[in-house]
Amino acid sequence: MTLKLGVPSKGRLMEKTFDWFGAAGIELARTGSDREYAAAVNGLDGIELVLLSAGEIPRELAAGRIHLGVTGSDLVREKLGAWQEKVTELAPMGFGHADLVIAVPRCWVDVNTLDDLDAVAAAFRANHGYRLRIATKYHRLIRDHLRIHGVADYQLVDSQGATEGTVKNETAEAIADITSTGETLRANHLKILSGNPVHKSQATLFKSRKADWTGGDRATLKKLCTKLGIDG
C-alpha cells in the first residue's frame, strides 16, 4: 500500500508546504504543468502526493481517502463536525497564520466586546423586527463561539464574495472572517471586537483516523515522522 499525502495544489500554501517538507529532506514537486495535478515525492519511499485545494483536504481526510493532509486548522474545524474523531493534528507548520475574528462598523463606538454585541443585537431586533446579520463563511465556528459567550438575537448570512464588503453593501450589520493583518477590515471601516480571536489558524499537518492504515502505511508514517522530527 501507499501512504497518500494531500497538500494544497497551488499558491503560497503549496510553496510553503513544499519548503517545510524539503527542510526535512523530503522533496515534494509538481511533475506537470500548472493545469495538471501530477506530483512526486523524493527522499522517502511509499508516499503518493495528492494535490487538492486546501478546502477539499478536510473532507478527504474525514472520508479516509488520504492518510495525511496539509490544510488550515480553521478549515478542519469549520468543515468537520466532531473533527477530533476524524483527524489528529500531527504538527503545526508555522505558516499560513490568520485569525478568525468578529468585526463591526467602526462607527459603533460603544460596541467593543461580545457583551456589547449581545446588547446591540437585542436592541437591533427590538427596533427592526429581525435579527442582526453577521456575514461569514465560517458558520460552525462562529455559531459555537457566540453560543459559548451567550450572544443571542443574531443570524448568520453566508458571504459568497468579499465578506468585508457586506456591511458597506448593506447585506449585513457585522462580519466574521479570517484576517492576517486587519488592513482590509480597516479599509472597509470595520473594527475587530476585543478579546481573543474565535480561532488562531495556521497550516497544520493532519492524520486521518478514517483511512485504511496497513502495516506498511504505519511503517512509512513512522519513517516520515522521524524525518520531520514529530510524533506520529
Convert the pLDDT of each residue in 61-111 to its tens digit.
999 999 999 999 999 999 999 999 999 999 999 999 999 999 999 999 999
**Residue 131: pLDDT band by 50, 70, 90 thresholds?**
very high
208-229 average pLDDT score: 94
Task: For residue 103, give the 3-state DSSP assignment.
Answer: strand
pLDDT in tens, 140-190: 999 999 999 999 999 999 987 789 889 998 999 999 999 998 899 999 999
Which pLDDT value is given to residue 232?
73
Q: What angle do CA 206, 207, 213 make, to 5 degrees?
A: 165
What is the spatial distance between Cα 178 and Cα 206, in angstroms, rounded to a whole number? Answer: 20
What is the spatial distance between Cα 200 and Cα 186, in angstroms, rounded to a whole number? Answer: 19
Residue matched to cell numbers 489528529: 88
**Residue 34: pLDDT band by 50, 70, 90 thresholds?**
low
Which pLDDT value is given to residue 62?
98
Could you tell me the end-to-end alpha-carbon distance of the chain, in angstroms, rounded to an integer? 18
Cell numbers of 126, please? 427590538
Residue matched to cell numbers 473533527: 83
> Could you tell me where the beta strands, DSSP code E, fall in 143-215?
154-158, 174-179, 190-192, 199-201, 203-208
Q: Where is pLDDT greater, at 30 or 122?
A: 122
**Residue 17: pLDDT band by 50, 70, 90 thresholds?**
very high
| Cα–Cα distance list, 59 to 11, 64, 206 (Å) | 20, 9, 12
Given a cut of 60, whether residue 33 has pLDDT beyond it is no
Alpha-helical (H) ranges within the chain are: 11-22, 57-63, 73-79, 114-128, 139-148, 183-187, 215-228
Task: For residue 84, give the 3-state DSSP assignment.
Answer: helix
Considering just the CA atoms, what is the radius of gyration of the chain in Å? Answer: 20
Which pLDDT value is given to residue 36?
53
Greatest C-alpha distance within the chain:
65
Given a cut of 70, whether residue 229 has pLDDT beyond it is yes
pLDDT in tens, 181-206: 889 999 999 999 999 999 999 999 99
